[in-house]
Structure 1
Amino acid sequence: MDEANLTKSLEALAGVEDDVEAVEREVEILRLSKLSPIYATRNKAIVGIPEFWKVVLSQHSDFANYVRAADLKYVDCINSISVKWPCTDDTTADNREFSITIDFEGIEGDFDSQVVTKVFKIEHDVSKLRYKGKATEEELLRDEELGFLTSTPCEIKWPKSFNHINPGLVVDKSTVEGKKNYRTGMKSLFAWFKWTGLKLGKEFPNGDGLAALFRDDIFPNCTKYYTEAQIDLEDENIEEEDMSDEPLQLDSDFDDYERDSKRHKA
């Protein structure tokens, strides 16, 4: 094949790939548009189930990898989680963009009740990266072509018990203790709400991963995780009941010891 025909074939192949991506995008937007009203109905039903999200998030092993153990007390305060996609209202919007809204119940004297919405967008301009971390040139070129997830920092009120690690309140970052507190705070779930995706290695770690986990798994599959937790609880109760019904059996070694003791006494 001569060079001209090869170039023509490669251009045709690239065009086919563009067509495939366009169809996949249309299908994804249609899927989300069909699911959105169903999710809205489900959200209303969840309101009547006590501690629904507490059960779901405690059941999800991957979620635990993103939060500190000390955060779990406040994770239990989550009343609702909702994900929305702008493309369901505007088909010209990127179907990879979305927002996550979390409703927190307060803890008197420590944590204020609040509803927080974090918006995520796709960015292509890698020059906006303030810190590139360990990103390779190849990764930066890929992000420029395909886009990468970013987010606008949103306001959230931290628990008062976290004042000593709240990055916004840690004034002294030069001492060992100050640095430790600041770094600990940056790993808190509350620091995720400030994540931008533009400061690699300088923000909440894997902030895009947690966002994707909410979007792709925790939110769409929350009913499944809640049901699995209820089944596990029922199984545990059945096992406990079965064990309580069993007659008490003394260990055979203990029986032998008892017989030997009686023989010696005789």
Structure 2
Amino acid sequence: MNTASNGSSGTPEELVNPEMISKLASIEEESDTVEQEILKYRTKLMTPVFEKRRQIAKETPMFWPTVFDAVDDEFASYVLPQDHPLISCINDLYVERDLSEPRTFTITFGFEENEYLEEKSLVLSKRFVYNEQDQEGSYSSEAVEILWKQGKKISHEKSSATPSFFSLFSWEGKETDVFDDGRQVAVLLADDIFPNAIQYFLQAFTDGQTDNLSDIDLLSDSDVELDHGEGGSKETSKRGSETQAGPKKKKVKADK
């Protein structure tokens, strides 16, 4: 039964007039604008934190492979068995957001020397551009060529039933893409895995995947104080970007 607060009844179309819809839409636009300003502020504030973590992570053996192992099944579904040897060579992952449009971001992968990639492909960067005009929040990108050593190419062509994770670099946001889930993987990396990397890393230890935490000292990205200036209050910013929120993990604390 459809009943309005004033006692009148009817369908939603009859109860809500165009002027009311216009007002609600305007408020939604204001809300989106505020959220983007918050994201810009957070991006600016978190950049030095992530840069500091980046250096420590590079010095931590198997940091990123351990993170990927700890991520839930959603990420695992994008990784084939033949991807694992090269994923184990990842020694750097960094996400840089545009300050003017932080929903646009660049993902950079760094690799140790390995039997798969030529030296020029040991660092691979791919930019994902957010389409503000699309209500569904679509992305576009340009294909990035990977230079494989002879006979060592992992990513597969369209004829393959399941594309390699590294086919992400060929994704452009088109219907003809080899890797149909490129947007989902990029957003998962940028909004969940990258900002929450330390929680995933520590989770691997608490899950019994690794033996010892005693010698590891990593900067936590889960709690960052936001200083609102002299005399102002401080608040704690919780982990993770909220623009295209990925799966959330319960905060994991290292054993003392």
TM-score interval w.r.t. the shorter chain?
A: 0.5 to 0.7
Deviation, structure 1 residue 86: 0.8
Q: Secondary structure at the match of 1:83?
A: strand
* Contact 1:52–1:226 (Cα < 8 Å) also in 2: yes
Letter in 2 for 1:104: F
2:169 to 193, 199, 215: 193
Q: Secondary structure at the match of 1:81?
A: strand
Aligned to 2:105: 98
Q: Secondary structure at the match of 2:94?
A: strand
Quick one: structure 1 residues 104 and 185, their matched pair in 2 at CA, closer, same or farther if it must change by over 3 Å?
A: farther
**Which structure 2 residue ranges, 5 or more long, are not aligned?**
1-7, 9-13, 213-256
* Contact 2:83–2:154 (Cα < 8 Å) also in 1: no
Deviation, structure 1 residue 231: 2.3
Deviation, structure 1 residue 198: 1.4
| Inter-partner Cα distance in structure 2 for 1:228 and 1:63 | 16
Q: Secondary structure at the match of 1:99?
A: strand
| Residue 150 (1) aligns with residue 140 (2) | yes
For the pair shown, which has the larger CA radius of gyration, 1 or 2? 1
Output aligned runs, 1:1-266, within 5 Å.
6-61=17-72, 62-87=74-99, 93-108=100-115, 110-113=116-119, 114-123=122-131, 144-163=134-153, 166-167=156-157, 182-184=158-160, 187-199=163-175, 202-233=177-208
* Contact 1:165–1:184 (Cα < 8 Å) also in 2: no
**Which structure 1 residue ranges, 5 or more long, are not aligned?**
88-92, 126-143, 168-181, 238-266
Structure 2 length-normalised TM: 0.68
Deviation, structure 1 residue 23: 0.9
Aligned to 2:219: none
Letter in 1 for 2:78: Y
| Inter-partner Cα distance in structure 2 for 1:7 and 1:165 | 51
| Inter-partner Cα distance in structure 1 for 2:25 and 2:156 | 49
Q: Which structure shows the higher helix fraction?
A: 1
Aligned to 1:172: none
| Inter-partner Cα distance in structure 1 for 2:161 and 2:18 | 54
Deviation, structure 1 residue 163: 4.3
Letter in 2 for 1:64: A
* Contact 1:149–1:208 (Cα < 8 Å) also in 2: yes
Structure 1 length-normalised TM: 0.65
Q: Secondary structure at the match of 2:36?
A: helix
Q: Secondary structure at the match of 1:42?
A: helix
Quick one: structure 1 residues 13 and 156, their matched pair in 2 at CA, closer, same or farther if it must change by over 3 Å?
A: same
Quick one: structure 1 residues 15 and 193, their matched pair in 2 at CA, closer, same or farther if it must change by over 3 Å?
A: same
* Contact 2:139–2:183 (Cα < 8 Å) also in 1: yes
Deviation beyond 6 Å, 4+ runs, structure 1: 234-237
Quick one: structure 1 residues 94 and 197, their matched pair in 2 at CA, closer, same or farther if it must change by over 3 Å?
A: same
Could you report, residue by residue, the CA deviation over 1:20-47 in whole angstroms, capped at 9, with x for unpaired residues?
Answer: 1111111121122211111111101112
* Contact 2:40–2:102 (Cα < 8 Å) also in 1: yes
Among the aligned pairs, what percent are the same residue? 29
| Inter-partner Cα distance in structure 1 for 2:31 and 2:92 | 36
Quick one: structure 1 residues 148 and 84, their matched pair in 2 at CA, closer, same or farther if it must change by over 3 Å?
A: same
C-alpha RMSD of the superposition: 2.8
